[in-house]
């Protein structure tokens, strides 16, 4: 009985920014738990490659090629998908970018790109999918925050601001939509070995700092995020709403 709480069979999950990295790992993990997967990205070649890889393992996979920073395009794409294919039961807002520059030199255009990709996309896709979930009185929304939701480090102040906003938007989604049967939560990864963190992973000084700063003493592997995602995507979390789950090896609780 207890294991059935985590079964995603028959559910359809849309994961934004899922052609690589954390998004792809979460999509694969939910597929392994029984979900039908909808991959999203802006690069058709990368998106098709990710879909082919999942299909090769026997998973049911579709793609949704749309720029999640374009509000109208997202609404049109989601509405068409729901009408032509079927309901999106689970949404993982994962799309995100990074830009590292000291705050006093941070380019305004880079700040705007961070806002659009890391925050506005959560609103755009969340609203488009959420409207359909509200009509069905059921749905799961999982927003990908960050260890920088709670902490800051030099050179990424605007990124830190966007991830703080993701956590607060998650609280707002839960406050507005829990009454309609939706559960809206966030996962805040610590330092994981992903393409977004390649510059840090390639820096020996940073690796030394991270191993000493993190109680677990290492980088996280993207597969270690899957359990939290399945929990929040499944009926096991039916009364969990508006929370941010930190999966960070203990870095946010230790000085």
159 catalytic? Reply is: yes
List the pLDDT tens digit at each of the 255 positions of the chain: 577 999 999 999 999 999 999 999 999 999 999 999 999 999 999 999 999 999 999 999 999 999 999 999 999 999 999 999 999 999 999 999 999 999 999 999 999 999 999 999 999 999 999 999 999 999 999 999 999 999 999 999 999 999 999 999 999 999 999 999 999 999 999 999 888 888 899 999 999 999 999 999 999 999 999 999 999 999 999 999 999 999 999 999 998
Burial environment of residue 128 by CB neighbours within 10 A (0 to 12, 13 to 18, 19 or more): buried
How much is the CA Rg of the chain, to the nearest whole Å?
18
The helices-and-strands tally (H runs, E runs) of the chain is: 9, 7
Structural domains of the chain ordered from first start: 2-253 (3.40.50.720)
Q: Which two tokens stand for residue 201?
A: 């992973």
Kindly give, in sequence order, each residue whose CB lies less than 8 Å from that of residue 117, ignoring residues fewer than 6 positions away. Answer: 68, 69, 95, 96, 97
Burial environment of residue 248 by CB neighbours within 10 A (0 to 12, 13 to 18, 19 or more): buried
The answer to whether the Cα torsion of 52, 55, 91, 96 is positive or negative is: negative
Q: What pLDDT score does 1 carry?
A: 52
- Neighbour count for residue 125 (Cβ, 10 Å): 30
Q: CA dist 94 to 47, 118, 246, Å?
A: 15, 8, 15
- Choose, from 159, 180, 191, 246, the residue flagged as catalytic: 159
């Amino acid at each position: 009985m207890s294991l059935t709480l985590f079964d995603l069979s028959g559910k359809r999950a849309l994961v934004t920014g899922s052609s690589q990295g954390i998004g792809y790992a979460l999509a694969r993990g939910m597929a392994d738990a029984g979900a039908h997967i909808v991959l999203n990205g802006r690069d058709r070649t990368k998106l098709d490659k990710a879909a082919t890889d999942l299909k090769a393992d026997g998973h049911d996979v579709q793609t949704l090629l749309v720029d999640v920073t374009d509000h109208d395009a997202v609404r049109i794409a989601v509405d068409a998908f729901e009408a032509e294919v079927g309901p999106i039961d689970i949404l993982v807002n994962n799309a995100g970018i990074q830009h590292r520059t000291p705050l006093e030199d941070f380019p305004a255009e880079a700040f705007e790109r961070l806002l659009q990709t890391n925050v506005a996309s959560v609103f755009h896709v969340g609203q488009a999918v959420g409207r359909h979930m509200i009509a069905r009185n059921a749905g799961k929304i999982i927003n990908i925050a960050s260890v920088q939701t709670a902490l800051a480090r030099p050179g990424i102040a605007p990124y830190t601001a966007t991830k703080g906003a993701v956590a607060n938007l998650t609280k707002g989604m839960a406050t507005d939509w829990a009454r309609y049967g939706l559960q809206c939560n966030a996962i805040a990864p610590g330092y994981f070995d992903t393409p977004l963190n390649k510059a840090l992973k390639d820096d020996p000084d940073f690796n030394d700092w991270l191993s000493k700063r993190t109680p677990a003493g290492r980088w996280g592997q993207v597969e270690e995020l899957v359990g939290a995602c399945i929990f929040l995507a499944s009926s096991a979390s039916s009364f969990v709403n508006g929370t941010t789950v930190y999966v960070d090896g203990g870095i946010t609780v230790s000085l």
